[in-house]
Amino acid sequence: MSRSAQYLQEAADWLTRLQRPEVDETDWLAFDAWLSEPGAQEAYDAIQAVDEEIFQRGSAVRGELAVPRRAVAAKRGLMIDWRWLGGLGAAAAAAAVAIVVAPWGELLPQPDTLYTTAKGENRAVQLADGSHIDLNTDSHLSVRFDKDARRVTVHDGQALFDVAHDTARPFLITAGDETVRVVGTKFDVRRRDGQLSVTVLRGLVEVSTDGEESPARLRPGQMLEHVEGAAGIVVRNVAAEDQVGWRSGRLVYRDQSLGRIVSDMNHYFERPLRLEGENTANLKFSGVLIVDGQDAMVRRLTSLMPISATPTDDSIVLRGKASTPN
């Protein structure tokens, strides 16, 4: 088997593996490592395209595959028309079958489609219902369309949703212990390091949180913030466009902690930033950071905040500067 064919098979295996309910952080880290290999991203994109095609043809394909193989062989053989896979070659076709049929030959329970971005990458996704998703850097989410609802799970990262109106099938987003319910609107969902937020740009959004008796209804210009697993939520008015500045390469902060800023930057670059010093993470910053090179961003931070930057072999260390006595 050629290396390109092997990547296609591995991509199909990853797509299957990451749809299982027991997937955890170890799986995501291993997937990120595999995705960084030369040729892996292209193979995954190709398999994901096949998966989407299978989903579009889902009822016919899954109906055939649901028939027990012995019964099918006794009647007339498996008559699914796979000619539409011809352009991908035999290896890709075989990998596509692996998406639909689990390695042990059973039908996968749900036709989820996984969308990902690498560090430093943004991605636009157009869904079959007309909804649009913009994924921020280093993000992972999955999409499933059922008869009664359109379902999205934000595994990690940030995305801007522009949802097509469909009263018969609400758009449901699960992010940690939050569920966002909408019919047609535009809003941003962020799940990073156990911190959850939802910001509405247009329409109305209903957010249900585990432990809260009733859902919160958000209007344009409102943001809900919540610590995953903790009690309580915070809803406040914000400049909603600031929260999605990442779409145009800008990170906008208003009295935000350096710890949050470093967390954001670490999702853009492979070389991590580390904080040292008792109060360094709590230093506050207001301003706009242009997302370009890591060194340039660090230089801007050190010029705008009382911090120093020290490169090491495997990271960049940020330390708060001692205050000068009067």
List the CATH code of the domain at 112-240: 2.60.120.1440
Rounded to an integer, what distance in angstroms lies between the CA atom of residue 15 and that of residue 179? Answer: 24
pLDDT band at 64 (very low <50, low <70, confident <90, very high): low
d(CA 96, CA 46) in angstroms, rounded, equals 10
Alpha helix stretches (DSSP H) within 250-313: 258-266, 294-304
Number of Cβ atoms within 10 Å of the Cβ of 71: 8
Q: Sorting pLDDT into bands at 50, 70 and 90, what band is 117?
A: very high
> What was the pLDDT predicted at 82?
38
Residue 35 near residue 41, CB atoms below 8 Å: yes
How far, in Å, CA of 188 to CA of 261, rounded?
Answer: 18
Domain 249-320 has CATH 3.40.50.1820: no
165 vs 25, higher pLDDT: 165
Backbone angles phi, psi at 61, to 5 degrees: -65, -50
| Dihedral angle sign, alpha carbons of residues 232, 238, 241, 246 | negative
Where are the chain's structural domains?
1-110, 112-240, 249-320
d(CA 274, CA 309): 10
User: Can you spell out the DSSP letters for 135-174?
Assistant: E-SS-EEEEEE-SS-EEEEEEEEEEEEEPPP-TTS-EEEE
> Global pTM?
0.68
Label residue 74 by pLDDT band (50, 70, 90): very low
Instruction: Report pLDDT digits (tens) over 3-46.
Output: 667 777 888 888 777 766 566 667 777 887 888 888 888 888 77
Measured distance CA(81)–CA(60) in Å, rounded: 10
With a cut of 80, say whether residue 145 has pLDDT above it: yes
* pLDDT for residue 69 is more than 60: no
